[in-house]
Chains A and B, each alone.
Chain A
């Protein structure tokens, strides 16, 4: 690779590289073959690997469920669910089988499956095309939940996900699919379960992922303060240490996500900060999140999604408190 790619192209080139590298990789999902995926994330793969790329019936439980069987025979299923909300139709297979087959068989059956799905808002799509359910997936022991925030990160994390011995829910921020290009090195693999310190700073820590990372960086660019920005990248299992170390240093923290506030990942992250960095805090941690409402249809979507202004205001509040 080493090309300047958009995120959606990074997905495609990563899948191509993994199909090429490993004969056991199979790619399937609704419209991923002839059409190349509704976002073109799998364009050209069917032509290149006609025996291992498949259009599937429109059946999300089926897409997730057959993965258990494919994996049992030694294959590495990489499935696409067309939009994250439609993974709810396969959630029972995910929670009842995919996530727990390793533990309930004491490691004698595993499910090294990757489920990719476009996630999050900001593209003015139809109803139920903009959800952010990472906390729901993170609540299922045995799953690895990944959210990349750039083309290079997508390549590195998706490579690691396909190669992971455990099932991965790979949530691709739809809004970032075509938003910018970035140099993507060839055969790029990044560790799962390790956060990235995007910007180093001393005054305050912001934890943000997916498209909220971009909004955060836009916000911090407006501020004079020395802000540390952390992208957990793997939502579960979460890299607590990097976040806690940072907060011990800065004493101030803001957690940002576009998912609804209640029972969102910010709650978990703040709980961990409270357990391990409470005496280092100079002021309460603040959450900038979506509201506890269903994501509105797109005419009101901008009102729902946290943006750089809200994040900037939140950071200022936490910085200004004594």
Chain B
């Protein structure tokens, strides 16, 4: 046969919780009422932290901040799917997911205030720090998932990145390494439609981002990223496959409702009508309708959650302000090497002397 089709692929898309708040009972994950409410609270906490952070930044009290408003379902749903000892490997917009794990809001704010303290990994937490260069961290997650496989540990790495990152060569290398080494890794691409200002159609000619897995020989699947139950389900399945050495690329289709960071103005590159359209598809609203319909969420519970979230974040802001006031600039010399080399010791001493010799 001189010509034959030798490879075909299809990409499956999953939605569990529809935009009107109805659920596909066959696909609904088995989460307890408490777990569902925890999930809701995590989404509310993430949203409120982002809102407070934006206003702090506007008042000059915070540096550049990358809000995840509109992406709470993608982040919280996936983070809830992880086991305690699984690894989270974030980019710079994953505060919603990180707070589901062991990172407190105080650290998110510290990092945004330019303090390394915010990138410290909490004791006993399996996490890597935020990665600022786009698309570099999936390789670390491939390494973690490979390292756990080498050591015959069940732990899985879940890494987060965006649609823009899929244009980076490192992301392809990561998918490819994971496939070759049966890495215990799940790659979660939050396709929020914009890489700063660049629209998806200017980013790639690929019809889906999930299909980028195919070339690397691993599974790719798309999920409605504004559907917290769908994300939980799809990522849970991907994590279980990863424990057996089968990595997956999950594309969570969502929308960044806010700015890329506090440094840009979305009105320059997109229409208000589009933003309105996505406001109607907001992941928190959808989940709230579902919980109300199930009788899990009444006005009183909502108010209690809102108050709790508000006071947690207010406390975090107080603590981070206090930490900033006590910041020791000489700390920058202390962790460059395990043991401080003589030249660095000399520079640190010169820094402490101030105005004496500069080295």
Contacts and interface: CB of A to CB of B under 8 A. Distances in A.
A61 B143 contact: no
Nearest to B145: A69
Interface in B134-181: 136, 139-148, 150-151, 153, 155, 157, 169-170, 173-174, 176-177, 180-181
Nearest to B168: A61
B151 A93 contact: no
Given A93-B136, A275-B359, A61 B169 contact: yes
A65 B170 CA distance: 8
Nearest to B141: A69
B337 interface: yes
Nearest to B123: A108
B129 A101 contact: yes
B291 interface: no
Interface stretch (A176-184, A235-243, A253-261, A304-312): A235-243
A61 B177 CA distance: 11
A105 B150 contact: no
Interface centre among A107, A108, A144, A193, by most B CB within 10 Å? A108
B342 interface: yes
A85 B131 CA distance: 25
B122 to A, nearest CB: 8
Size band of the B side of the interface? 35 or more
Nearest to A23: B151
A104 B119 contact: yes
B148 A166 contact: no
B7 interface: no
Size band of the A side of the interface? 35 or more
Interface stretch (B64-72, B238-246, B259-267, B328-336): B328-336
A97 B131 contact: yes
B181 A54 contact: yes
A21 interface: no
Contacts of B133: 92, 96
Contact of B343 (A59, A61, A97, A237): A237
Contacts of B322: none
Contacts of A224: none
B336 A142 contact: yes
B180 A74 contact: no
A130 interface: no
A57 B136 contact: no
Given A65-B173, A69-B144, A73-B147, A104 B116 contact: yes
Interface in A48-82: 51-52, 54, 56-57, 59, 61-62, 65-75, 77
A321 interface: no
A189 B125 CA distance: 34
B87 interface: yes
Interface centre among B139, B180, B341, by most A CB within 10 Å? B139
Contact of A96 (B136, B151, B334): B136
Interface in B230-275: none
A65 B143 contact: yes
A102 interface: yes
Given A61-B170, A108-B121, A240-B343, A73 B139 contact: no
Contact of B151 (A66, A75, A165, A166): A75
24 contacts: A26-B150, A57-B180, A61-B170, A62-B139, A65-B139, A65-B170, A66-B143, A66-B177, A69-B128, A69-B145, A70-B144, A71-B147, A72-B128, A93-B170, A97-B136, A104-B116, A109-B129, A166-B338, A237-B337, A237-B343, A238-B343, A239-B342, A240-B342, A275-B359
